[in-house]
Amino acid sequence: MMRKKSILLASALLGPVLIALTVIAAQSSDFRSFVTSEDGGMHGILAIILVGAVVYSTVFQLWLAKKFWEPRIARAFDQIGRR
């Protein structure tokens, strides 16, 4: 059970960590000069990493909300219906 919770926590933190690393890298002057170099730079790669992190994080958070809150909401509506 502890291993499952650890994996769940690591997965939940992966998206926000990737977003934070991308933002931190964008603030670095060395990285900015590398990204905006005249040969095209890495705008596409940086954008793909950021979009991937945002999508992963959003989907994972929605999955967590569905997994943990849907049964509780269903029970609450069942209790309201019985009254």
pLDDT tens-digit profile of 10-42? Answer: 777 777 777 777 777 777 777 666 666 666 666
Whether the predicted model's global pTM rises above the 0.75 cut: no
Rg (CA), the chain: 20
The owner of tokens 């209790």 is 79
Name the nearest CA neighbour of 57 among 3, 10, 24.
Answer: 10
Residue boundaries of the structural domains of the chain: 2-82
What is residue 39's predicted lDDT score, i.e. its pLDDT?
61
Q: How far, in Å, CA of 42 to CA of 31, rounded?
A: 10
